[in-house]
Amino acid sequence: MAKKRKRKRLRLKPAVFRFLIYFTFFLAIGIYTINETKKIIADFKYQETYEYKITQKGYKLKEAQKLIEILPDEKLDYILENEYNEIYYNIVTQKYYLDKNFDKYIEYKEYHEDTSYEDTIAIVNVHANVGWYNETYETNINDGYLMIVNKFYHLDESYERDDLENINLAYAYANNRASSVVIENFKNMRQDIEEEMNVHLMVNSSYRPYKDQEEIYNEFKKVSLKYADSYAARPGYSEHQTGLAIDITSLEHPTANDFKESEEYAWLKENCHKYGFILRYPEGKEHITGYSTESWHFRYVGEEVATKIYNEGITFDEYYAYYIEK
């Protein structure tokens, strides 16, 4: 019996061995086939992705990934329908890019090759791509201290703030009125600069009703329309009608030219945001604001927004377009 069992076991061993060989062989082939199939399926699936398709258009992988991160599908399809164009990537990665303006940015940049991407975004965002006064919108007075008035947004003839107050003759020339909040903050700012530098800020001009602006504009228009539009805002389009804008110089430097070179102007540029004011028409931003630099014109928007505008180095028009109008 013992012998028989031994022989039987010996006979089984090669069979088991063969079985293991075959099993391992087919298992390996099986695994290999499954993996290869998986790879083929994965490749096939990857070829269906925007990432693959966009890189096939000539964009770098990182560029494709960024485009996918920012753009909705219909814009990605548009990119795929068109030849490789570096404009697309450079436009959509700008800080103030707004999806609704995609087509306008592309068109503007294609016609204005020398305009930087940053400026292209700013110009289109504030509507300046269509030309001053060529599109008009009504100012949303519900925006409160953030209401915008520029060469596209205008106020109704009847609009007047209900918190207008006379400005004390100690720090304003005659017949000046502004929002009580503006006066309060101007007083604080005036006091601080006086303590620091012994200079005395003065309000030259402030609230201006529609009728007054109309008279000013019509006077200029007697020369020509172009002349009038260069030197005065059209009635309804002057920020002075908001009651939130004030023209400032100082007793020490009463003319605009002198004031521009003064230390108090330099101080205001660096500090007025702490009191809620911004320099409304800064140097080098004429193509965005529509106004040559005005070293005297300050606008109240509140401390938080004024600080943001100061920190980001943008104009109020850009701020409004990106953060409010969207």
Q: What are the residue numbers of the active site?
A: 294
- 23-31, 77-85, 182-190, 296-304 -> range binding Zn ion (CB under 5 A): 296-304
Q: Which is nearer to Zn ion, 63 or 247 (CB)?
A: 247
Stretch near Zn ion under the rule CB under 5 A, chosen from 121-129, 209-217, 271-279, 293-301 = 293-301
Q: Determine the residue with CB nearest Zn ion.
A: 297
| Beta carbon of residue 81, minimum distance to Zn ion (angstroms, whole number) | 48
Stretch that binds Zn ion, among 12-20, 56-64, 105-113, 290-298 (CB under 5 A): 290-298
Q: Is 63 in the site for Zn ion (CB under 5 A)?
A: no
Interface with Zn ion, residue 280, by CB under 5 A: no
- Please report, as residue ranges, which positions from 236 to 255 form the binding site for Zn ion (by CB under 5 A): 247
Distance in Å, CB of 230 to Zn ion, minimum? 15
**Complex with Zn ion: residue 127 or 297, whichever CB lies closer:** 297
Q: Which CB atom, from 285 or from 297, has the smaller least distance to Zn ion?
A: 297
* Calpha distance 26→22 (Å, rounded): 6
Toward Zn ion, which CB reaches closer, 239 or 318?
A: 239
CB of 87 to Zn ion, least distance (A): 37
Distance between CA atoms of residues 150 and 30, nearest Å = 72
Q: Which is nearer to Zn ion, 247 or 317 (CB)?
A: 247
Among 104, 253, 297, 299, interactor with Zn ion by CB under 5 A: 297
Does residue 229 interact with Zn ion by CB under 5 A?
no
Smallest gap from Cβ 295 to Zn ion, in A, equals 11
* Nearest-approach distance from CB 54 to Zn ion, in angstroms: 48
Contact between 177 and Zn ion by CB under 5 A: the answer reads no
Contacts with Zn ion by CB under 5 A lie at: 247, 297
